[in-house]
């Protein structure tokens, strides 16, 4: 007979849920994981991982087309095999899904393929008729794409799922939403040959990033042939035999255009429906569950982590919350997550990565106490490794509290930005000052030397600028 009573039950098997289950098992708890679809969740199956597989295919294609620059001939005529790219992307996701299943078995986690809802104190009712009991219940149900009334999802209007498995390259593509997801899809489809228009309602693309970095990203996108329209929204659409006829409102003017396909990347909403929250003290605000610093909800014994618990909507934030939450349940000393120490990455071309405050926010922050900031910038054009790679366009920007030397924010735009940002993440976690960073020895020749130079630049000591 299948066991139905546990110390911990986790609802949702994404990067928050499955990590919570593993950590619980490591700490000696009896653990069950309930997942209605695929282990690994949206991130592994329909988000982070498959998009990165497609984007890497685009990187290889771009490298082939530019191979002559590096003294390699015969590759300039490389063409995208879309079916093979998609097949590889799905294979990568499938492999990692199997890996999660193996980890559940290895750690002794009981997995239920079902949906679950709260059914009284310490109880969960599954849609297969079973009832589970647990001292602690973690909700890790994730989020889904926000739908726009003017753009109903269908054959020609896609959300991320449809955009990940195209059967042909659109001749023309409208991407609605220029955050991380929209920017990544715009980069991929432009690389494989689509004429791409990227729009956003805000004054700049990647609106959560530092304004200077966002402007550099826009210039880079436009240089690749991506048409960028900001302060732009879709007010109406209709599907025709030739594509999708869209009415745009741009800077107060209406524009009517027809696109072969449209991708909607206008944010996400939390999966809070059908969880049985109505008769509990769990509070939901703007489709996300309200939690405290230890991931506790208003209902005793019920916790929430990851995207369903609100911003930042990042897989690594979910995984970190998972460990924090479970360790708190087990009685270990833990600290609440500081959102300013969570890196954010956009895997477009070029990539954008950041941690902490933007320059504008940092300036506002220190002004309240009569302080000042110091800003350092270093371009990759001054870095030997970047020049050798042929990737010498980009910027590292650091923001410090002038008095204390605290690193308030760091921002990078470069094809390897996502790999570089962790250096600043470690520094922030260790509360390193500008002096600590300036005294750190960075290997040469590496791209990471730009991190050092940007810090030096903030205090008038850059060596290669």
pLDDT in tens, 220-270: 999 999 999 999 999 999 998 889 999 999 988 999 999 999 999 999 999
User: Cα–Cα distance between 447 and 385 in angstroms, integer?
Assistant: 6
User: Cα–Cα distance between 322 and 101 in angstroms, integer?
Assistant: 18
pLDDT over threshold 90, residue 450: yes
pLDDT band (50, 70, 90) for residue 381: very high
User: Cα–Cα distance between 216 and 118 in angstroms, integer?
Assistant: 47
Instruction: Please indicate if the annotation marks 130 as binding a ligand.
Output: no
The pLDDT value given to residue 1:
57
pLDDT band (50, 70, 90) for residue 368: confident
Instruction: Please indicate if the annotation marks 182 as binding a ligand.
Output: yes
pLDDT over threshold 80, residue 134: yes
CA-wise closest residue to 414 among 430, 390, 437, 398: 390
Query: CATH assignment of 350-459?
Result: 3.30.390.30
Cα angle 252-150-246, degrees, rounded to a multiple of 5: 60
Instruction: Please indicate if the annotation marks 307 as binding a ligand.
Output: yes
The pLDDT value given to residue 155:
93
The pLDDT value given to residue 358:
98
Question: Can you name the CATH fold of 157-266?
Answer: FAD/NAD(P)-binding domain (3.50.50)
The pLDDT value given to residue 108:
97
Percent of the chain, pLDDT > 90? 96
Q: Token pair 């087309």 is at which residue? A: 65
The pLDDT value given to residue 115:
96
pLDDT band (50, 70, 90) for residue 382: very high
Helix axes 17-26, 315-329, angle to 10 degrees: 30
- Tokens (6 digits) for 306: 């990851």
Pairing of strands 373-379, 395-401: antiparallel
Q: What is the pLDDT of residues 111-131, one digit of tens each?
A: 999 999 999 999 999 999 999
The pLDDT value given to residue 91:
97
- pTM: predicted TM-score of the whole model, two decimal places: 0.95
Instruction: Please indicate if the annotation marks 180 as binding a ligand.
Output: yes
The pLDDT value given to residue 369:
85
pLDDT over threshold 90, residue 277: yes
Q: Token pair 């750190």 is at which residue? A: 440
The pLDDT value given to residue 76:
85
Q: What is the pLDDT of residues 404-434, one digit of tens each?
A: 999 999 999 999 999 999 999 999 999 999 9
Instruction: Please indicate if the annotation marks 184 as binding a ligand.
Output: yes
Instruction: Please indicate if the annotation marks 108 as binding a ligand.
Output: no
- The per-residue pLDDT of the chain, averaged, comes to 96
Q: Which is catalytic among the residues 102, 250, 439, 444?
A: 444
Q: What is the pLDDT of residues 142-187, one digit of tens each?
A: 999 999 999 999 999 999 999 999 999 999 999 999 999 999 999 9
Helix axes 211-223, 180-191, angle to 10 degrees: 20
Q: Do domains 5-145+269-339 and 157-266 have the same CATH topology?
A: yes
Chosen CATH of 5-145+269-339 out of 1.20.1050.10, 3.40.50.10470, 3.50.50.60, 3.90.950.20: 3.50.50.60
User: Domain ranges in the chain?
Assistant: 5-145+269-339, 157-266, 350-459
User: Cα–Cα distance between 349 and 415 in angstroms, integer?
Assistant: 6
CA-wise closest residue to 352 among 212, 199, 465: 212
pLDDT over threshold 90, residue 357: yes
User: Cα–Cα distance between 460 and 374 in angstroms, integer?
Assistant: 10
The pLDDT value given to residue 237:
96
Note if 288 is an active site residue: no
The pLDDT value given to residue 437:
96
Instruction: Tell me if 198 sits within 8 A of 221, measured CB to CB.
Output: yes
C-alpha distances (whole Å) from 229 to each of 63, 163, 185, 199, 250 are 28, 21, 16, 5, 7
Instruction: Tell me if 353 sits within 8 A of 412, measured CB to CB.
Output: yes
Instruction: Please indicate if the annotation marks 181 as binding a ligand.
Output: yes
Q: Is 258 helix (H, G, I), strand (E, B) or coil?
A: strand
User: Cα–Cα distance between 26 and 326 in angstroms, integer?
Assistant: 10
**pLDDT (mean) for 13-33:** 98
């Amino acid at each position: 007979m299948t066991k139905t009573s546990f110390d911990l039950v986790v609802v949702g098997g994404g990067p928050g849920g499955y990590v919570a289950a593993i950590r619980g098992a490591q700490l000696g708890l009896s653990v069950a994981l309930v997942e209605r679809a695929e282990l690994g969740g949206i991130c592994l199956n329909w988000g982070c991982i498959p998009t990165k597989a497609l984007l890497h295919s685009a990187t290889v294609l771009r490298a082939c087309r530019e191979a002559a620059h590096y003294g390699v001939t015969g590759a300039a005529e490389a063409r995208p095999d879309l079916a093979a790219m998609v097949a590889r992307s799905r294979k990568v996701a499938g492999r990692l899904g199997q890996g999660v299943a193996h980890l559940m078995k290895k750690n002794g986690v009981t997995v239920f393929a079902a949906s679950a809802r709260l059914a009284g104190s310490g109880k969960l009712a599954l849609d297969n008729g079973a009832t589970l009991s647990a001292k602690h219940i973690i909700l890790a149900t994730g989020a889904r794409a926000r739908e726009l009334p003017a753009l109903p999802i269908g054959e020609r209007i896609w959300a991320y799922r449809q955009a990940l498995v195209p059967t042909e390259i659109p001749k023309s593509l409208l991407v609605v939403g220029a955050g991380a997801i929209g920017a990544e899809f715009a980069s991929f489809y432009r690389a494989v040959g689509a004429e791409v228009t990227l729009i956003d309602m805000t004054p700049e693309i990647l609106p959560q990033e530092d304004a200077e970095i966002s402007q550099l990203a826009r210039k880079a996108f436009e240089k690749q042939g991506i048409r960028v329209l900001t302060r732009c929204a879709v007010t109406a659409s209709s599907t025709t035999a030739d594509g999708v006829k869209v009415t745009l409102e741009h800077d107060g003017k209406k524009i009517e255009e027809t696109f072969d396909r449209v991708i909607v990347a206008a944010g996400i909403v939390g999966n809070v429906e059908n969880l049985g929250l109505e008769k509990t003290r769990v509070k939901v605000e703007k489709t996300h569950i309200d939690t405290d610093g230890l991931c506790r909800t208003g209902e005793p014994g019920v916790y929430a982590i990851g995207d369903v618990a609100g911003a930042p909507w990042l897989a690594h934030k979910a995984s970190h919350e998972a460990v924090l939450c479970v360790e708190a349940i087990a009685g270990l000393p833990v600290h609440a997550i500081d959102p300013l120490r969570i890196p954010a990455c956009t895997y477009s071309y070029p990539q954008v990565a950041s941690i902490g405050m933007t320059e504008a926010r940092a300036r506002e922050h220190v002004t309240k106490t009569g302080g000042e900031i110091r800003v350092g910038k270093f371009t990759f054009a001054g870095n030997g490794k970047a020049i050798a790679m042929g990737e010498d366009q980009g910027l590292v920007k650091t923001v410090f509290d002038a008095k204390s030397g605290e690193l308030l924010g760091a921002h990078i735009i470069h094809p390897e930005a996502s790999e570089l940002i962790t250096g600043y993440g470690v520094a922030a976690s260790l509360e390193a000052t500008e002096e600590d960073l300036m005294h750190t020895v960075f290997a040469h020749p590496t791209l990471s030397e730009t991190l050092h130079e940007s810090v030096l630049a903030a205090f008038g000591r850059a060596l290669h600028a």
